[in-house]
Chain A
């Protein structure tokens, strides 16, 4: 991943190149099953289905052949985002496979005004929904005006607002052109649209979904009763879903713009999900073959990760990284490569660290709060950890000692914030702790607070998200005990963890996977507390998000960074944006609020050896979201 250049707005330059209709002279071909349907007059001809301006995609290895199915495993319920990652987030724009720039997707091209306030999107002429009805600017208007900005189903997400809180405006310029404008510059907007959470503008088909809204259908109550729904919103969710809920894949009749559409839906109690090709999909390869190549995605639902691993070993999984990519599974998967007929591909982390330790600097207990806010205390804890031992033991030797922020090969890399205070030095740790008034010890050898009470705190952790966190913390617990620090590991179920940390600020300290590279769309939550994962200053993040109305006013250095963060989000020029981020990182490095053990670990996925056009290496990130930008629709079976 040498090219992980986060020049988010190389975009502005890209628009010229993509405006050319490369498809103008092409003759189009289609899958045999569809050709049969066309001959039997059950389907319009392929050229008619894909419209005048399909996207011409260059497959990674070459033009493929049609047929076959692609199997991946779903786990239990609530694994809807796994489907989303495979089918792909068909938003207006997407990331290129290298995760370096935002490129057109559903939109044929786009323009950004020089001041970063106005975004114009050109749609593809003649493009269709999966049921054959035209996709036009009216659909975008429906999604943005009637759903998102009207707050019809839920309050408007902040990403569709200007920095000053005023909502964006959306205008239809003609049938294939829409314009979105903000009152303040918004450099990160395209990156946010490229993430799975930015699909709103093209999520719902107006002609289908509007029938479930009282605004468009006065008789909606009849439909509600018939479906035994509680109200129209519930009915809407049942039929049209939302970006991130299981019901999105639960209705086979919902028109989409995806390469595959649901045939066996993801509903409660389902034991597998089957998606079949969308005959109206709007991408073709360089030879004019309509994508996708693979007829079906088939995803059996296993309750248990162990049984997914058995499926992989048994050769019943064709392509997968989610759920399998824990370090502990690697040996057994490696051993069975031959039997399963698969090979590994690399899925490096976008950057950052695999576990960041957040002491709660806004602790409700004044004594602990005062202590945690002493930089020397945090430095002592950092140098009091033997990172090498933790990496060798808990991470099986994989990992590089690291504090925070992007890696060396990333343009956003900031040396000081990443590498200060990494050296293990128990003597220095003890000196620092003695110096800040923790020189008295109890009968058990543990340090006492200046008040004479024992110093004791708990670190909250979710044991299931990254299983290695608990192993790491147990080692840290032992290492800190040697410098007289009494820390307990507090494993919590996910919901209770969020409730205790991000909502109520009741924690002493918490850990979280800090994989981050500060690219547009990636929130630098460990250098500025603006997010629910900034567990070192939750009340400060409330203050920021509410514009000063809630939470707690942060100290000057934090406020300074919040101001810089707003500036960075607004900035269109990548170099200027980086300079602002580095200014924030300078301050954060001075303050040294958070610390970590190791760099984020590279993960891996498995891919059948005769499945082609698959990536050899792809960044593993939800914002990307892996593996969708590698274009699963171009994967094909070589015999």
Chain B
């Protein structure tokens, strides 16, 4: 039953993926002009004479003068073979540029997700069980401060404090000696240390909403007759809590995993920008600004793929956790 469901979902992901890729490509193409216009503007700004002939020659070589459908076909048929095209700006194959950045983005997103959950679960449970206690007010207030503080501001303030008061640099994901080094245990530890600040910054805003969701859901469940029944039958408070109401209250967490991934990648663009994190966000932003379409397209496509996979995972998990879900 479950297996058939998974297979069916997997199958439907494929046409969905192509539909998404078409939309992504169309969006990238949408702004007026193309990479050559941006290139000309860059050259013009430093005083070079922009020669129309040169731009036209380049446009033809890059195939930017062809109709949309042809360009899309060339791109997507390459992607299927694993060739994402070249980045106009860097003149490098796109596949050389994206994977490491994507990997770091996923690591950052996963770490943030875990951090958020680790904070939000216990606090949510606590503030539901001890409703209107001092602790409930304290954590709720803290969560709301985190939610209302803009990430980038928090980032800048932390950076300023680190530089001015501790003389240390908190930007980036690696220390200078590890930046170009091959992966090693030392590098992993170094990454872990650098992850702390961005994870805390990104986590502060996400925990608040999760705490409230957890609290509200749990409160709904806590006063249902089955809880009273279980309590009357003498089940210990802790077992009772974890076995039934919490399990049901988890539902919204699980069903949002699918959005969490792309949300964390795109939601972290500004913070990555401010903290100079080598994640996908800033590179994607720059690619979009420069209309470096194959680079931008590859990122957007991967983000879409991530959310499709995320949705799939959350659907499967939901089915596992909540026996009420039907495989239709």
B179 and A271 contacting across the interface, CB-CB below 8 Å? yes
Instruction: Say if the beta carbon of A166 comes within 8 Å of chain B.
Output: no
Q: Which residues of B contact A231 (CB under 8 A)?
A: 61
B37 and A499 contacting across the interface, CB-CB below 8 Å? yes
CB contact list, A96-121 vs B, under 8 A: none
Chain B window 82-116, contacts with chain A (Cβ cutoff 8 Å), 1 for yes, 0 for no: 01011101111101110011000000000000000
B101 and A269 contacting across the interface, CB-CB below 8 Å? yes
Interface size on B, residues (CB 8 A): 63
* Residue of B167, B171, B272 with highest tally of chain A CB at under 10 A: B171
A573 to chain B, nearest CB (A): 25
Chain B window 262-290, contacts with chain A (Cβ cutoff 8 Å), 1 for yes, 0 for no: 00000000001111101000110010011
Interface-forming stretch among A16-24, A46-54, A253-261, A490-498?
A: A490-498
CA distance A499 to B92 in the complex (A): 26
CA distance A498 to B45 in the complex (A): 9
A228 and B54 contacting across the interface, CB-CB below 8 Å? no
Chain B window 118-139, contacts with chain A (Cβ cutoff 8 Å), 1 for yes, 0 for no: 0000000000000000000000
**Known: A268-B283, A307-B274, A502-B44. Contact between A157 and B92, CB under 8 A?**
no
**Known: A245-B91, A498-B40. Contact between A76 and B278, CB under 8 A?**
no
CB closest chain-B residue, reference A241: B91
* Residue of B48, B90, B164, B169 with highest tally of chain A CB at under 10 A: B90
CB closest chain-A residue, reference B269: A303
A234 and B91 contacting across the interface, CB-CB below 8 Å? yes
A197 and B47 contacting across the interface, CB-CB below 8 Å? yes
B163 and A250 contacting across the interface, CB-CB below 8 Å? no
Partner of B48, one of A244, A246, A493, A545: A244
Q: Which residues of B contact A237 (CB under 8 A)?
A: 91
B286 to chain A, nearest CB (A): 5
B83 and A77 contacting across the interface, CB-CB below 8 Å? no
**Known: A238-B92, A264-B180, A303-B276. Contact between A496 and B46, CB under 8 A?**
no
Q: Which residues of A contact B58 (CB under 8 A)?
A: 154
Instruction: Say if the beta carbon of B43 comes within 8 Å of chain A.
Output: yes
Complex A-B: 27 CB contacts under 8 Å: A77-B90, A77-B283, A155-B53, A157-B48, A230-B85, A233-B61, A244-B42, A246-B89, A247-B90, A247-B92, A300-B172, A300-B276, A302-B171, A302-B276, A303-B273, A304-B273, A306-B274, A307-B171, A307-B275, A310-B163, A310-B171, A313-B163, A495-B38, A495-B291, A499-B37, A502-B44, A523-B47
B96 and A268 contacting across the interface, CB-CB below 8 Å? yes
Q: Which residues of A contact B286 (CB under 8 A)?
A: 76-78
Instruction: Say if the beta carbon of B156 comes within 8 Å of chain A.
Output: yes
Q: Which residues of B contact A165 (CB under 8 A)?
A: none
CB closest chain-B residue, reference A156: B51
CB contact list, B160-207 vs A, under 8 A: 160, 163-164, 167, 169, 171-174, 176, 179-180
Instruction: Say if the beta carbon of B149 comes within 8 Å of chain A.
Output: no
Q: Which residues of B contact A311 (CB under 8 A)?
A: 169
Instruction: Say if the beta carbon of B2 comes within 8 Å of chain A.
Output: no
CA distance A493 to B45 in the complex (A): 13
B89 and A229 contacting across the interface, CB-CB below 8 Å? no
B280 to chain A, nearest CB (A): 9
Partner of A78, one of B42, B274, B275: B42
CB closest chain-A residue, reference B172: A271
A555 to chain B, nearest CB (A): 24
Q: Which residues of B contact A497 (CB under 8 A)?
A: 41
Number of A-B contacts (CB under 8 A): 161
Instruction: Say if the beta carbon of A349 comes within 8 Å of chain B.
Output: no
Instruction: Say if the beta carbon of A208 comes within 8 Å of chain B.
Output: no
Instruction: Say if the beta carbon of A532 comes within 8 Å of chain B.
Output: yes
Instruction: Say if the beta carbon of B15 comes within 8 Å of chain A.
Output: no
Interface size on A, residues (CB 8 A): 63
B246 to chain A, nearest CB (A): 41
Instruction: Say if the beta carbon of A400 comes within 8 Å of chain B.
Output: no
A314 and B42 contacting across the interface, CB-CB below 8 Å? no
Q: Which residues of B contact A315 (CB under 8 A)?
A: 167
Instruction: Say if the beta carbon of B33 comes within 8 Å of chain A.
Output: yes
Instruction: Say if the beta carbon of B49 comes within 8 Å of chain A.
Output: yes
Instruction: Say if the beta carbon of B211 comes within 8 Å of chain A.
Output: no
**Known: A78-B290, A154-B58, A155-B51. Contact between A268 and B37, CB under 8 A?**
no
Known pairs A496-B32, A545-B49 / 5 extra A-B pairs, C-beta < 8 Å:
A157-B51, A245-B91, A268-B92, A314-B164, A533-B44
CB closest chain-A residue, reference B94: A268
CB closest chain-A residue, reference B86: A230
Partner of B92, one of A196, A250, A300: A250
B291 to chain A, nearest CB (A): 7
B46 and A498 contacting across the interface, CB-CB below 8 Å? no
Q: Which residues of A contact B101 (CB under 8 A)?
A: 269
Instruction: Say if the beta carbon of B260 comes within 8 Å of chain A.
Output: no
Instruction: Say if the beta carbon of A465 comes within 8 Å of chain B.
Output: yes
CB contact list, A221-238 vs B, under 8 A: 227-231, 233-234, 237-238
Chain B window 233-267, contacts with chain A (Cβ cutoff 8 Å), 1 for yes, 0 for no: 00000000000000000000000000000000000
Instruction: Say if the beta carbon of A323 comes within 8 Å of chain B.
Output: no
Partner of A301, one of B54, B90, B96, B276: B276
Instruction: Say if the beta carbon of B159 comes within 8 Å of chain A.
Output: yes
Instruction: Say if the beta carbon of B308 comes within 8 Å of chain A.
Output: no
CB closest chain-B residue, reference A502: B44
Instruction: Say if the beta carbon of A81 comes within 8 Å of chain B.
Output: yes
B91 and A264 contacting across the interface, CB-CB below 8 Å? no
Q: Which residues of B contact A531 (CB under 8 A)?
A: 49
Instruction: Say if the beta carbon of B317 comes within 8 Å of chain A.
Output: no
Instruction: Say if the beta carbon of B295 comes within 8 Å of chain A.
Output: yes
Q: Which residues of B contact A313 (CB under 8 A)?
A: 163-164
Q: Which residues of A contact B179 (CB under 8 A)?
A: 264, 271-272
Partner of B33, one of A76, A495, A545: A495
Q: Which residues of A contact B89 (CB under 8 A)?
A: 77-78, 246, 268
CA distance A240 to B37 in the complex (A): 23
A499 and B32 contacting across the interface, CB-CB below 8 Å? yes
List 9 A-B pairs, minimum CB-CB distance, nearest first: A268-B90, A268-B97, A498-B41, A314-B163, A247-B91, A237-B91, A154-B54, A228-B93, A303-B273
B137 to chain A, nearest CB (A): 35
CB closest chain-A residue, reference B95: A228
Q: Which residues of B contact A316 (CB under 8 A)?
A: 169
Instruction: Say if the beta carbon of A457 comes within 8 Å of chain B.
Output: no
CA distance A501 to B53 in the complex (A): 19
CA distance A523 to B101 in the complex (A): 42
Instruction: Say if the beta carbon of B79 comes within 8 Å of chain A.
Output: no
B83 and A228 contacting across the interface, CB-CB below 8 Å? yes
Q: Which residues of A contact B167 (CB under 8 A)?
A: 314-315
B92 to chain A, nearest CB (A): 6
CA distance A493 to B283 in the complex (A): 18
Instruction: Say if the beta carbon of A623 comes within 8 Å of chain B.
Output: yes
Instruction: Say if the beta carbon of A267 comes within 8 Å of chain B.
Output: yes
Partner of B274, one of A238, A304, A502: A304
B57 and A154 contacting across the interface, CB-CB below 8 Å? yes
CA distance A302 to B93 in the complex (A): 23
CA distance A303 to B270 in the complex (A): 10
B40 and A303 contacting across the interface, CB-CB below 8 Å? no
B282 and A303 contacting across the interface, CB-CB below 8 Å? yes
CA distance A545 to B51 in the complex (A): 10
Chain B window 18-51, contacts with chain A (Cβ cutoff 8 Å), 1 for yes, 0 for no: 0000000000000011000110111111111111
Q: Which residues of A contact B164 (CB under 8 A)?
A: 313-314, 339
CA distance A81 to B42 in the complex (A): 11
B50 and A532 contacting across the interface, CB-CB below 8 Å? yes
A238 and B61 contacting across the interface, CB-CB below 8 Å? no
